[in-house]
Amino acid sequence: MGPFVPEVISDQLNLVVALILGIGFGFALEQAGFSSSRRLAGVFYGYDFTVLRVFFTAAVTAMSGVLLLGYFGLLDTDAIFVNPTWLRPAVAGGAIMGVGFVLGGYCPGTSVCAAAIGKIDAMFFVGGGLFGVLAFGEMYPLYHGFYESTPLGSIKIFDSLGMSQGMFAFLLIVIAVGAFAGTTVIEKRVNKKSAPSLGFSTRNHLIAGAGVVALGIVFIFLPDRKTHIIDRVSNPAYLSTHPVKLMTADELAFRIVDHEPRMRIIDIRTPAACAKLALPGSSNIQVRDLFGKDWITMLSQRHVKKVLVADSEPEEHAACLLLEKLGYENIAALHGGLDAFNATIMNPSAVIPAGTRWDTDVFRFRETARKDILAMIEKNKNGGSKEIKKVKKIQGGC
Amino acid sequence: MKTKYMNPYLAGFFLGVVLLATIFITGRGLGASGAIKSVVVATVDGVAPSHAENSQFYSTYVGPGKDNPLKSWLVFEMAGVVIGAFISGLVSDRLKIVTEAGPRVGTRLRWMFAALGGALFGIGAQFARGCTSGAALSGMAVLSTAGFVTMMAIFGTGYAVAYVARKLWL
Protein backbone atom coordinates (compact mmCIF):
# COMPACT_ATOMS: atom_id res chain seq x y z
CA MET A 1 0.00 0.00 0.00
CA GLY A 2 1.34 3.43 -0.98
CA PRO A 3 2.87 5.79 -0.16
CA PHE A 4 6.25 4.07 0.08
CA VAL A 5 8.11 6.87 1.85
CA PRO A 6 9.53 6.54 4.48
CA GLU A 7 9.04 2.79 5.13
CA VAL A 8 10.08 1.28 1.80
CA ILE A 9 11.95 4.15 0.18
CA SER A 10 14.54 5.85 2.37
CA ASP A 11 15.03 9.61 2.44
CA GLN A 12 18.21 9.22 0.38
CA LEU A 13 16.63 7.06 -2.30
CA ASN A 14 13.69 9.45 -2.34
CA LEU A 15 15.99 12.11 -3.83
CA VAL A 16 16.73 9.81 -6.76
CA VAL A 17 13.00 9.22 -7.13
CA ALA A 18 12.56 13.02 -7.13
CA LEU A 19 15.01 13.37 -9.99
CA ILE A 20 13.26 10.72 -12.08
CA LEU A 21 9.76 12.11 -11.42
CA GLY A 22 11.13 15.58 -12.17
CA ILE A 23 12.27 14.41 -15.59
CA GLY A 24 8.73 13.23 -16.30
CA PHE A 25 7.33 16.52 -15.00
CA GLY A 26 9.66 18.63 -17.15
CA PHE A 27 9.07 16.48 -20.23
CA ALA A 28 5.29 16.74 -19.84
CA LEU A 29 5.37 20.51 -19.32
CA GLU A 30 7.58 21.11 -22.36
CA GLN A 31 5.59 18.76 -24.62
CA ALA A 32 2.42 20.60 -23.57
CA GLY A 33 3.88 23.85 -24.86
CA PHE A 34 4.44 25.37 -21.43
CA SER A 35 7.90 26.53 -22.48
CA SER A 36 6.31 29.35 -24.49
CA SER A 37 5.29 32.50 -22.60
CA ARG A 38 3.01 33.69 -25.40
CA ARG A 39 1.15 30.42 -25.23
CA LEU A 40 0.86 30.60 -21.44
CA ALA A 41 -0.32 34.23 -21.48
CA GLY A 42 -2.90 33.31 -24.13
CA VAL A 43 -5.18 31.89 -21.45
CA PHE A 44 -5.77 35.44 -20.18
CA TYR A 45 -6.61 36.87 -23.62
CA GLY A 46 -8.60 34.03 -25.13
CA TYR A 47 -6.31 33.25 -28.06
CA ASP A 48 -4.81 30.06 -26.58
CA PHE A 49 -6.34 28.03 -23.75
CA THR A 50 -3.60 25.41 -23.60
CA VAL A 51 -2.83 26.26 -19.96
CA LEU A 52 -6.39 25.64 -18.86
CA ARG A 53 -6.60 22.37 -20.79
CA VAL A 54 -3.34 20.92 -19.54
CA PHE A 55 -3.75 22.19 -15.99
CA PHE A 56 -7.30 20.97 -15.44
CA THR A 57 -6.74 17.66 -17.21
CA ALA A 58 -3.71 17.02 -15.00
CA ALA A 59 -5.59 17.99 -11.82
CA VAL A 60 -8.60 15.82 -12.71
CA THR A 61 -6.39 12.88 -13.71
CA ALA A 62 -4.36 12.95 -10.51
CA MET A 63 -7.41 13.52 -8.31
CA SER A 64 -9.29 10.63 -9.96
CA GLY A 65 -6.25 8.39 -9.52
CA VAL A 66 -5.96 9.27 -5.84
CA LEU A 67 -9.67 8.55 -5.27
CA LEU A 68 -9.55 5.22 -7.12
CA LEU A 69 -6.31 4.03 -5.51
CA GLY A 70 -7.74 5.01 -2.13
CA TYR A 71 -10.98 3.16 -2.79
CA PHE A 72 -9.18 -0.06 -3.72
CA GLY A 73 -6.98 0.21 -0.63
CA LEU A 74 -3.78 0.67 -2.64
CA LEU A 75 -3.04 4.14 -1.28
CA ASP A 76 -3.49 5.30 2.30
CA THR A 77 -5.09 8.67 1.61
CA ASP A 78 -4.77 9.67 5.28
CA ALA A 79 -0.99 9.35 5.03
CA ILE A 80 -0.42 11.63 2.03
CA PHE A 81 0.52 15.26 2.41
CA VAL A 82 -2.40 17.67 2.10
CA ASN A 83 -1.18 21.26 1.79
CA PRO A 84 -2.37 23.05 4.93
CA THR A 85 -4.48 26.14 4.41
CA TRP A 86 -3.57 29.61 5.65
CA LEU A 87 -6.57 31.29 4.14
CA ARG A 88 -5.67 34.99 3.91
CA PRO A 89 -2.01 34.47 2.93
CA ALA A 90 -3.15 31.94 0.29
CA VAL A 91 -5.51 34.50 -1.29
CA ALA A 92 -2.94 37.32 -1.09
CA GLY A 93 -0.10 35.13 -2.38
CA GLY A 94 -2.28 33.83 -5.20
CA ALA A 95 -3.22 37.39 -6.17
CA ILE A 96 0.44 38.47 -6.25
CA MET A 97 1.25 35.43 -8.39
CA GLY A 98 -1.66 36.20 -10.72
CA VAL A 99 -0.17 39.63 -11.48
CA GLY A 100 3.23 37.99 -11.89
CA PHE A 101 1.75 35.49 -14.35
CA VAL A 102 0.28 38.17 -16.63
CA LEU A 103 3.37 40.40 -16.51
CA GLY A 104 5.97 37.64 -16.71
CA GLY A 105 4.20 35.09 -18.87
CA TYR A 106 5.45 32.16 -16.86
CA CYS A 107 5.08 30.48 -13.50
CA PRO A 108 8.14 29.05 -11.68
CA GLY A 109 7.87 25.49 -13.05
CA THR A 110 7.28 26.55 -16.63
CA SER A 111 10.02 29.21 -16.52
CA VAL A 112 12.59 26.58 -15.59
CA CYS A 113 11.34 24.41 -18.49
CA ALA A 114 11.56 27.32 -20.92
CA ALA A 115 15.00 28.30 -19.66
CA ALA A 116 16.13 24.71 -20.19
CA ILE A 117 15.36 24.92 -23.91
CA GLY A 118 17.01 28.31 -24.30
CA LYS A 119 14.38 30.99 -23.71
CA ILE A 120 16.23 34.08 -22.49
CA ASP A 121 13.10 35.76 -21.10
CA ALA A 122 12.54 32.66 -18.96
CA MET A 123 16.04 32.99 -17.55
CA PHE A 124 15.17 36.55 -16.51
CA PHE A 125 11.99 35.22 -14.92
CA VAL A 126 13.96 32.64 -12.89
CA GLY A 127 16.40 35.37 -11.83
CA GLY A 128 13.48 37.55 -10.80
CA GLY A 129 12.06 34.63 -8.81
CA LEU A 130 15.30 34.25 -6.88
CA PHE A 131 15.28 37.99 -6.15
CA GLY A 132 11.62 37.82 -5.07
CA VAL A 133 12.31 35.10 -2.50
CA LEU A 134 15.32 37.04 -1.23
CA ALA A 135 13.22 40.20 -0.91
CA PHE A 136 10.54 38.25 0.94
CA GLY A 137 13.11 36.75 3.30
CA GLU A 138 14.78 40.08 4.06
CA MET A 139 11.53 41.87 4.82
CA TYR A 140 9.95 38.91 6.60
CA PRO A 141 9.54 40.61 10.01
CA LEU A 142 7.27 43.23 8.40
CA TYR A 143 4.56 40.71 7.59
CA HIS A 144 5.40 37.79 9.81
CA GLY A 145 2.04 38.15 11.57
CA PHE A 146 0.07 38.14 8.34
CA TYR A 147 2.10 35.22 6.98
CA GLU A 148 1.06 33.08 9.95
CA SER A 149 -2.55 34.33 10.09
CA THR A 150 -5.74 32.29 9.57
CA PRO A 151 -4.19 28.81 9.86
CA LEU A 152 -6.89 26.23 9.18
CA GLY A 153 -4.76 23.08 9.01
CA SER A 154 -4.92 20.37 6.34
CA ILE A 155 -8.55 20.94 5.47
CA LYS A 156 -10.17 19.49 2.38
CA ILE A 157 -12.22 21.41 -0.13
CA PHE A 158 -15.30 19.18 0.01
CA ASP A 159 -15.50 19.61 3.79
CA SER A 160 -15.08 23.37 3.39
CA LEU A 161 -18.00 23.36 0.95
CA GLY A 162 -20.05 20.92 3.03
CA MET A 163 -20.45 18.17 0.46
CA SER A 164 -19.24 14.61 -0.01
CA GLN A 165 -15.88 13.85 -1.58
CA GLY A 166 -17.48 12.03 -4.49
CA MET A 167 -19.96 14.79 -5.21
CA PHE A 168 -17.18 17.37 -5.27
CA ALA A 169 -15.11 15.21 -7.61
CA PHE A 170 -18.10 14.92 -9.94
CA LEU A 171 -18.72 18.68 -9.92
CA LEU A 172 -15.05 19.43 -10.57
CA ILE A 173 -15.09 17.10 -13.57
CA VAL A 174 -18.27 18.68 -14.94
CA ILE A 175 -16.79 22.18 -14.48
CA ALA A 176 -13.56 21.12 -16.17
CA VAL A 177 -15.28 19.52 -19.17
CA GLY A 178 -17.66 22.49 -19.44
CA ALA A 179 -14.70 24.87 -19.35
CA PHE A 180 -12.93 22.85 -22.05
CA ALA A 181 -15.95 23.09 -24.33
CA GLY A 182 -16.66 26.77 -23.61
CA THR A 183 -13.08 27.96 -24.01
CA THR A 184 -12.72 26.08 -27.29
CA VAL A 185 -15.62 28.10 -28.70
CA ILE A 186 -14.07 31.35 -27.40
CA GLU A 187 -10.63 30.45 -28.70
CA LYS A 188 -11.88 29.77 -32.22
CA ARG A 189 -13.65 33.13 -32.28
CA VAL A 190 -10.77 35.18 -30.89
CA ASN A 191 -8.05 33.44 -32.84
CA LYS A 192 -9.52 32.53 -36.21
CA LYS A 193 -6.19 31.80 -37.87
CA SER A 194 -4.08 29.83 -35.42
CA ALA A 195 -6.22 28.62 -32.51
CA PRO A 196 -4.72 25.32 -31.30
CA SER A 197 -8.23 23.89 -31.04
CA LEU A 198 -8.75 24.23 -34.81
CA GLY A 199 -6.87 20.99 -35.27
CA PHE A 200 -8.89 19.01 -32.71
CA SER A 201 -11.16 16.22 -33.83
CA THR A 202 -14.58 17.18 -32.47
CA ARG A 203 -15.81 13.60 -32.38
CA ASN A 204 -12.86 12.18 -30.44
CA HIS A 205 -12.93 15.04 -27.94
CA LEU A 206 -16.66 14.62 -27.36
CA ILE A 207 -16.19 10.91 -26.69
CA ALA A 208 -13.34 11.59 -24.27
CA GLY A 209 -15.39 14.29 -22.50
CA ALA A 210 -18.35 11.94 -22.12
CA GLY A 211 -16.08 9.24 -20.75
CA VAL A 212 -14.65 11.57 -18.11
CA VAL A 213 -18.11 12.72 -17.04
CA ALA A 214 -19.16 9.06 -16.73
CA LEU A 215 -16.20 8.54 -14.41
CA GLY A 216 -17.41 11.55 -12.42
CA ILE A 217 -20.82 9.92 -11.99
CA VAL A 218 -19.09 6.82 -10.64
CA PHE A 219 -17.35 9.03 -8.07
CA ILE A 220 -20.69 10.23 -6.68
CA PHE A 221 -21.40 6.66 -5.63
CA LEU A 222 -17.87 5.76 -4.67
CA PRO A 223 -17.61 5.89 -0.90
CA ASP A 224 -14.45 6.60 1.01
CA ARG A 225 -13.05 3.11 1.68
CA LYS A 226 -12.35 3.54 5.39
CA THR A 227 -15.66 5.23 6.16
CA HIS A 228 -17.44 2.54 4.15
CA ILE A 229 -15.85 -0.37 6.05
CA ILE A 230 -16.32 1.32 9.44
CA ASP A 231 -19.97 1.99 8.64
CA ARG A 232 -20.48 -1.62 7.63
CA VAL A 233 -19.00 -3.16 10.76
CA SER A 234 -20.87 -0.66 12.97
CA ASN A 235 -24.26 -1.64 11.63
CA PRO A 236 -26.30 -3.17 14.52
CA ALA A 237 -27.63 -5.94 12.27
CA TYR A 238 -24.07 -6.84 11.27
CA LEU A 239 -22.93 -6.79 14.91
CA SER A 240 -25.70 -9.15 15.99
CA THR A 241 -24.74 -11.74 13.37
CA HIS A 242 -20.97 -11.45 13.95
CA PRO A 243 -20.13 -12.07 17.59
CA VAL A 244 -16.65 -11.52 18.99
CA LYS A 245 -14.83 -12.84 22.06
CA LEU A 246 -15.65 -10.94 25.21
CA MET A 247 -13.56 -10.39 28.32
CA THR A 248 -15.30 -9.61 31.59
CA ALA A 249 -14.35 -6.60 33.66
CA ASP A 250 -13.05 -8.90 36.41
CA GLU A 251 -10.80 -10.83 34.05
CA LEU A 252 -9.40 -7.63 32.56
CA ALA A 253 -8.79 -6.22 36.04
CA PHE A 254 -7.03 -9.43 37.06
CA ARG A 255 -4.80 -9.40 33.98
CA ILE A 256 -3.93 -5.74 34.52
CA VAL A 257 -2.87 -6.17 38.16
CA ASP A 258 -1.12 -9.40 37.21
CA HIS A 259 0.95 -7.45 34.64
CA GLU A 260 -0.01 -10.01 32.00
CA PRO A 261 2.65 -9.65 29.30
CA ARG A 262 0.60 -11.23 26.56
CA MET A 263 -2.16 -8.67 26.53
CA ARG A 264 -2.43 -5.20 25.04
CA ILE A 265 -5.27 -2.83 25.78
CA ILE A 266 -6.37 -0.68 22.86
CA ASP A 267 -8.42 2.31 23.88
CA ILE A 268 -10.42 3.67 20.95
CA ARG A 269 -11.92 6.66 22.77
CA THR A 270 -10.98 10.23 21.92
CA PRO A 271 -7.55 11.39 23.10
CA ALA A 272 -9.31 13.88 25.39
CA ALA A 273 -11.26 11.13 27.15
CA CYS A 274 -8.10 9.03 27.50
CA ALA A 275 -6.16 11.95 28.90
CA LYS A 276 -8.67 12.19 31.75
CA LEU A 277 -8.51 8.57 32.77
CA ALA A 278 -7.19 5.54 30.94
CA LEU A 279 -6.34 1.99 31.93
CA PRO A 280 -2.67 1.42 32.78
CA GLY A 281 -0.56 0.42 29.80
CA SER A 282 -3.29 1.07 27.26
CA SER A 283 -2.63 2.49 23.80
CA ASN A 284 -4.97 5.14 22.53
CA ILE A 285 -5.72 4.48 18.83
CA GLN A 286 -8.47 6.09 16.82
CA VAL A 287 -10.57 3.60 14.83
CA ARG A 288 -9.50 5.17 11.50
CA ASP A 289 -5.84 4.75 12.46
CA LEU A 290 -6.29 0.98 12.80
CA PHE A 291 -6.03 0.89 8.97
CA GLY A 292 -2.62 2.53 8.98
CA LYS A 293 0.91 1.23 9.16
CA ASP A 294 1.79 2.67 12.56
CA TRP A 295 0.32 -0.19 14.56
CA ILE A 296 0.90 -3.20 12.32
CA THR A 297 3.75 -4.58 14.43
CA MET A 298 1.76 -4.51 17.64
CA LEU A 299 -1.52 -5.70 16.17
CA SER A 300 -0.06 -8.63 14.27
CA GLN A 301 1.49 -10.32 17.32
CA ARG A 302 -0.68 -13.41 17.35
CA HIS A 303 0.18 -14.63 20.84
CA VAL A 304 -0.77 -11.27 22.34
CA LYS A 305 -4.41 -10.71 23.14
CA LYS A 306 -5.65 -7.34 21.94
CA VAL A 307 -8.45 -6.08 24.19
CA LEU A 308 -10.46 -3.22 22.77
CA VAL A 309 -11.98 -0.79 25.20
CA ALA A 310 -14.42 2.06 24.69
CA ASP A 311 -17.26 3.50 26.72
CA SER A 312 -19.80 1.06 25.34
CA GLU A 313 -19.58 -2.49 24.07
CA PRO A 314 -20.99 -1.93 20.53
CA GLU A 315 -18.16 0.50 19.73
CA GLU A 316 -15.62 -2.10 20.86
CA HIS A 317 -17.47 -4.82 18.99
CA ALA A 318 -17.32 -2.87 15.72
CA ALA A 319 -13.61 -2.13 16.18
CA CYS A 320 -12.95 -5.86 16.84
CA LEU A 321 -14.76 -6.81 13.64
CA LEU A 322 -12.78 -4.18 11.76
CA LEU A 323 -9.51 -5.66 13.04
CA GLU A 324 -10.67 -9.12 12.02
CA LYS A 325 -11.52 -7.78 8.58
CA LEU A 326 -8.03 -6.32 8.35
CA GLY A 327 -6.65 -9.79 9.07
CA TYR A 328 -5.63 -9.52 12.72
CA GLU A 329 -6.25 -12.32 15.23
CA ASN A 330 -6.66 -12.85 18.98
CA ILE A 331 -8.94 -9.91 19.63
CA ALA A 332 -11.47 -9.41 22.39
CA ALA A 333 -13.89 -6.73 23.53
CA LEU A 334 -14.36 -5.66 27.12
CA HIS A 335 -17.76 -6.98 28.18
CA GLY A 336 -20.09 -4.08 28.80
CA GLY A 337 -17.44 -1.55 27.88
CA LEU A 338 -15.64 0.81 30.22
CA ASP A 339 -19.03 1.75 31.67
CA ALA A 340 -19.29 -1.75 33.13
CA PHE A 341 -15.63 -1.72 34.19
CA ASN A 342 -16.09 1.56 36.03
CA ALA A 343 -19.30 0.42 37.65
CA THR A 344 -17.92 -2.84 38.99
CA ILE A 345 -14.18 -2.51 39.50
CA MET A 346 -13.56 1.20 39.90
CA ASN A 347 -16.62 1.97 42.01
CA PRO A 348 -16.08 1.13 45.71
CA SER A 349 -19.81 0.94 46.43
CA ALA A 350 -20.52 -1.47 43.60
CA VAL A 351 -23.18 -3.93 44.47
CA ILE A 352 -22.00 -7.50 44.52
CA PRO A 353 -24.71 -9.83 43.26
CA ALA A 354 -25.78 -11.60 46.41
CA GLY A 355 -26.42 -15.26 46.72
CA THR A 356 -23.18 -17.06 45.94
CA ARG A 357 -20.59 -18.12 48.46
CA TRP A 358 -17.84 -16.28 46.53
CA ASP A 359 -19.30 -12.84 47.33
CA THR A 360 -16.73 -11.88 49.89
CA ASP A 361 -13.86 -13.06 47.65
CA VAL A 362 -15.16 -11.09 44.69
CA PHE A 363 -15.56 -8.04 46.87
CA ARG A 364 -12.03 -8.38 48.25
CA PHE A 365 -10.55 -8.94 44.77
CA ARG A 366 -12.24 -5.88 43.33
CA GLU A 367 -11.18 -3.80 46.32
CA THR A 368 -7.51 -4.78 45.80
CA ALA A 369 -7.67 -4.48 42.03
CA ARG A 370 -9.08 -0.97 42.25
CA LYS A 371 -6.29 0.18 44.56
CA ASP A 372 -3.61 -1.45 42.40
CA ILE A 373 -4.99 -0.02 39.17
CA LEU A 374 -5.27 3.46 40.65
CA ALA A 375 -1.70 3.16 41.91
CA MET A 376 -0.52 2.05 38.47
CA ILE A 377 -2.29 4.97 36.80
CA GLU A 378 -0.71 7.35 39.31
CA LYS A 379 2.72 5.85 38.71
CA ASN A 380 2.38 6.13 34.92
CA LYS A 381 1.35 9.76 35.32
CA ASN A 382 4.49 10.60 37.29
CA GLY A 383 6.79 8.51 35.17
CA GLY A 384 5.24 9.74 31.96
CA SER A 385 3.35 7.52 29.60
CA LYS A 386 5.61 4.83 28.18
CA GLU A 387 3.50 4.55 25.05
CA ILE A 388 4.46 7.54 22.95
CA LYS A 389 3.37 7.12 19.38
CA LYS A 390 6.06 8.24 17.04
CA VAL A 391 4.53 10.23 14.28
CA LYS A 392 6.60 10.49 11.15
CA LYS A 393 4.46 12.57 8.88
CA ILE A 394 5.33 12.98 5.23
CA GLN A 395 6.47 16.49 4.53
CA GLY A 396 5.65 18.23 1.30
CA GLY A 397 4.80 21.57 -0.19
CA CYS A 398 7.05 24.20 -1.61
CA MET B 1 10.90 22.91 -38.78
CA LYS B 2 9.51 22.80 -35.27
CA THR B 3 7.47 19.79 -34.30
CA LYS B 4 3.91 20.48 -33.17
CA TYR B 5 3.08 20.48 -29.47
CA MET B 6 1.35 17.47 -28.01
CA ASN B 7 -2.44 17.55 -27.79
CA PRO B 8 -3.01 19.52 -24.54
CA TYR B 9 -5.42 16.98 -23.07
CA LEU B 10 -2.96 14.18 -23.73
CA ALA B 11 -0.14 16.25 -22.25
CA GLY B 12 -2.35 17.08 -19.27
CA PHE B 13 -3.15 13.41 -18.80
CA PHE B 14 0.55 12.57 -18.93
CA LEU B 15 1.30 15.34 -16.44
CA GLY B 16 -1.50 14.05 -14.19
CA VAL B 17 -0.07 10.53 -14.29
CA VAL B 18 3.36 11.88 -13.28
CA LEU B 19 1.72 13.77 -10.40
CA LEU B 20 -0.29 10.70 -9.41
CA ALA B 21 2.85 8.55 -9.45
CA THR B 22 4.55 11.14 -7.25
CA ILE B 23 1.72 11.06 -4.73
CA PHE B 24 1.48 7.27 -4.84
CA ILE B 25 5.20 6.66 -4.40
CA THR B 26 6.28 9.50 -2.13
CA GLY B 27 3.04 10.70 -0.52
CA ARG B 28 3.69 14.30 -1.57
CA GLY B 29 3.06 16.39 -4.67
CA LEU B 30 5.21 18.12 -7.26
CA GLY B 31 6.51 21.65 -6.81
CA ALA B 32 8.74 24.31 -8.23
CA SER B 33 9.01 27.46 -6.13
CA GLY B 34 10.34 25.48 -3.15
CA ALA B 35 13.49 24.70 -5.13
CA ILE B 36 13.99 28.40 -5.89
CA LYS B 37 13.61 29.13 -2.18
CA SER B 38 16.19 26.43 -1.34
CA VAL B 39 18.69 28.04 -3.72
CA VAL B 40 18.15 31.45 -2.12
CA VAL B 41 18.38 30.07 1.41
CA ALA B 42 21.56 28.14 0.58
CA THR B 43 23.11 31.20 -1.05
CA VAL B 44 22.31 33.48 1.89
CA ASP B 45 23.63 30.85 4.27
CA GLY B 46 26.82 30.55 2.22
CA VAL B 47 27.44 34.28 1.90
CA ALA B 48 26.31 35.42 5.34
CA PRO B 49 25.80 32.47 7.68
CA SER B 50 25.27 34.58 10.81
CA HIS B 51 22.68 36.70 9.03
CA ALA B 52 20.84 33.53 7.97
CA GLU B 53 20.84 32.11 11.47
CA ASN B 54 19.56 35.32 13.01
CA SER B 55 16.83 35.81 10.44
CA GLN B 56 13.36 34.67 11.39
CA PHE B 57 12.77 33.42 7.85
CA TYR B 58 16.04 31.66 6.93
CA SER B 59 16.63 30.14 10.37
CA THR B 60 13.70 27.77 9.80
CA TYR B 61 15.73 26.13 7.04
CA VAL B 62 19.36 26.44 8.08
CA GLY B 63 21.28 26.02 11.29
CA PRO B 64 22.99 23.36 13.35
CA GLY B 65 21.62 19.86 12.85
CA LYS B 66 19.80 20.74 9.64
CA ASP B 67 20.67 19.33 6.24
CA ASN B 68 22.03 21.53 3.50
CA PRO B 69 18.93 23.22 2.03
CA LEU B 70 20.04 22.11 -1.43
CA LYS B 71 19.68 18.48 -0.37
CA SER B 72 15.92 18.72 -0.64
CA TRP B 73 13.33 16.78 -2.58
CA LEU B 74 12.25 19.74 -4.68
CA VAL B 75 15.79 20.71 -5.70
CA PHE B 76 16.36 17.21 -7.07
CA GLU B 77 12.94 17.24 -8.70
CA MET B 78 13.67 20.58 -10.40
CA ALA B 79 17.02 19.27 -11.59
CA GLY B 80 14.95 16.52 -13.22
CA VAL B 81 12.63 19.12 -14.74
CA VAL B 82 15.61 20.82 -16.43
CA ILE B 83 16.71 17.46 -17.85
CA GLY B 84 13.19 16.42 -18.87
CA ALA B 85 12.42 19.74 -20.56
CA PHE B 86 15.76 19.65 -22.37
CA ILE B 87 15.10 16.12 -23.64
CA SER B 88 11.63 17.16 -24.78
CA GLY B 89 13.05 20.21 -26.56
CA LEU B 90 15.67 18.02 -28.17
CA VAL B 91 13.29 15.39 -29.51
CA SER B 92 10.81 18.01 -30.71
CA ASP B 93 13.54 20.23 -32.16
CA ARG B 94 12.76 23.28 -30.04
CA LEU B 95 16.21 24.01 -28.58
CA LYS B 96 16.99 27.60 -29.46
CA ILE B 97 18.47 30.58 -27.65
CA VAL B 98 15.76 33.17 -28.18
CA THR B 99 13.66 35.78 -26.42
CA GLU B 100 9.95 35.33 -26.83
CA ALA B 101 7.78 38.44 -26.56
CA GLY B 102 4.44 39.85 -27.63
CA PRO B 103 4.32 41.41 -31.09
CA ARG B 104 4.60 44.98 -29.77
CA VAL B 105 7.25 44.40 -27.11
CA GLY B 106 10.99 44.87 -27.54
CA THR B 107 13.56 42.47 -26.11
CA ARG B 108 14.70 44.74 -23.25
CA LEU B 109 11.15 45.47 -22.12
CA ARG B 110 10.30 41.79 -22.24
CA TRP B 111 13.27 40.95 -20.03
CA MET B 112 12.26 43.60 -17.51
CA PHE B 113 8.70 42.37 -17.27
CA ALA B 114 9.81 38.74 -17.13
CA ALA B 115 12.08 39.55 -14.18
CA LEU B 116 9.30 41.55 -12.51
CA GLY B 117 6.82 38.71 -12.99
CA GLY B 118 9.37 36.27 -11.56
CA ALA B 119 9.91 38.47 -8.53
CA LEU B 120 6.17 38.69 -7.89
CA PHE B 121 5.92 34.90 -8.16
CA GLY B 122 8.84 34.55 -5.74
CA ILE B 123 7.05 36.71 -3.18
CA GLY B 124 3.54 35.37 -3.77
CA ALA B 125 4.64 31.74 -3.59
CA GLN B 126 5.99 32.34 -0.09
CA PHE B 127 2.69 33.71 1.20
CA ALA B 128 0.69 30.94 -0.49
CA ARG B 129 3.23 28.23 0.50
CA GLY B 130 3.68 27.21 -3.09
CA CYS B 131 3.16 28.25 -6.67
CA THR B 132 1.02 27.01 -9.53
CA SER B 133 2.63 23.56 -9.23
CA GLY B 134 3.14 23.01 -5.51
CA ALA B 135 0.11 24.79 -4.12
CA ALA B 136 -2.47 24.90 -6.91
CA LEU B 137 -1.96 21.75 -9.01
CA SER B 138 -0.69 19.36 -6.32
CA GLY B 139 -3.15 20.80 -3.80
CA MET B 140 -6.08 20.25 -6.13
CA ALA B 141 -5.04 16.64 -6.75
CA VAL B 142 -5.35 15.84 -3.03
CA LEU B 143 -8.45 18.06 -2.70
CA SER B 144 -6.74 20.50 -0.36
CA THR B 145 -8.73 23.68 0.24
CA ALA B 146 -5.52 25.70 -0.08
CA GLY B 147 -4.98 24.28 -3.57
CA PHE B 148 -8.33 25.51 -4.86
CA VAL B 149 -8.11 28.87 -3.08
CA THR B 150 -4.64 29.53 -4.50
CA MET B 151 -5.65 28.42 -7.99
CA MET B 152 -8.67 30.71 -8.04
CA ALA B 153 -6.65 33.61 -6.63
CA ILE B 154 -3.95 33.21 -9.30
CA PHE B 155 -6.26 32.94 -12.30
CA GLY B 156 -8.90 35.33 -10.92
CA THR B 157 -6.30 38.07 -10.44
CA GLY B 158 -4.72 37.21 -13.77
CA TYR B 159 -7.99 37.86 -15.58
CA ALA B 160 -8.62 40.98 -13.52
CA VAL B 161 -5.34 42.63 -14.55
CA ALA B 162 -5.06 41.13 -18.06
CA TYR B 163 -6.71 44.11 -19.73
CA VAL B 164 -4.24 46.57 -18.20
CA ALA B 165 -1.32 44.47 -19.43
CA ARG B 166 -2.77 43.69 -22.88
CA LYS B 167 -0.06 45.62 -24.75
CA LEU B 168 2.49 43.11 -23.50
CA TRP B 169 0.86 40.22 -25.34
CA LEU B 170 -1.61 41.32 -28.01
A-chain residues near B158 (CB < 8 A): 43-44, 98-99, 101-102
Distance CA A230, CA A253 (A): 29
Containing structural domain, residue A157:
11-224
Strands A263-267 and A245-247: unpaired
Nearest chain A residue (CA) to B139? A83
Interface test with B, best of A20, A66, A103 (most B CBs within 10 A): A103
| B118 to A5: CB separation less than 8 angstroms, yes or no | no
| A82 to B142: CB separation less than 8 angstroms, yes or no | yes
* Strand-by-strand arrangement of the A331-334 sheet: A245-247, A331-334, A305-309, A263-267, A283-284
Q: What is the pLDDT of residues A343-367, one digit of tens each?
A: 888 877 766 666 677 778 888 888 8
Q: What is the pLDDT of residues A40-74, one digit of tens each?
A: 999 999 999 999 999 999 999 999 999 999 999 89
A189 & A236 share domain: no
Listed in sequence order, the residues at least 6 apart from A397 whose beta carbon sits closer than 8 Å to its beta carbon are: A81, A83, A84, B28, B29, B31, B34, B129, B130, B134, B135
Q: Is B83 on the interface with A (CB under 8 A)?
A: yes
Q: How many domains does one find in chain A?
A: 2
Strands A85-86 and A151-153: antiparallel
Q: What is the mean pLDDT of residues A142-169?
A: 94
A328/chain B closest Cα distance in angstroms: 25
A-chain residues near B130 (CB < 8 A): 83, 397-398
B-chain residues near A151 (CB < 8 A): none
At which of A164, A190, A224 does a domain end? A224
Q: What is the pLDDT of residues A310-326, one digit of tens each?
A: 999 999 999 999 999 88
B-chain residues near A54 (CB < 8 A): 8-9, 11-12, 15
A57/chain B closest Cα distance in angstroms: 5
A273 & A196 share domain: no
Residue B58 lies in a domain: no
Residue A306 lies in a domain: yes
pLDDT higher than threshold 90 for residue A6: no
Closest CA to A179 of A212, A204, A203, A201: A212
A287 & A172 share domain: no
Name which of A28, A116, A397 is nearest B129 (Cβ-Cβ). Answer: A397
* A67 torsion bin: left (phi>0), alpha (psi -120 to 50), beta (else): alpha
A248 & A217 share domain: no
At which of A172, A194, A224 does a domain end? A224
Q: How many domains does one find in chain B?
A: 1
Whichever domain contains A306, its CATH number is: 3.40.250.10
Residue A398: per-residue pLDDT: 66
Distance CA A84, CA B59 (A): 21
Residue A375 lies in a domain: yes
H helices of A191-224, in order, are: 202-220
DSSP reduced 3-state for A93: helix
A178 & A77 share domain: yes
Nearest chain A residue (CA) to B141? A63
Residue A391 lies in a domain: no
Cβ contacts below 8 Å, chain A against chain B, sum to 561
pLDDT higher than threshold 60 for residue B1: no
Q: What is the mean pLDDT of residues A120-145?
A: 96
In our burial notation (b when 16+ CB lie closer than 10 A, e otherwise), range B94-126 reads beeeebbbbeebeeeebbbbbbbbbbbbbbbbb
Host H or E run for residue A35: none
Name which of A61, A152, A394 is nearest B12 (Cβ-Cβ). Answer: A61
Q: Is B15 on the interface with A (CB under 8 A)?
A: yes
H helices of A33-104, in order, are: 37-45, 50-71, 87-104
Containing structural domain, residue B111:
101-170
Residue B129: per-residue pLDDT: 96
Q: Which is it for the CA torsion B147, B148, B153, B158, positive or negative?
A: positive
Distance CA A53, CA B13 (A): 10
Rounded to two decimals, the ipTM of the complex is 0.97
Name which of B28, B41, B165 is nearest A394 (Cβ-Cβ). Answer: B28
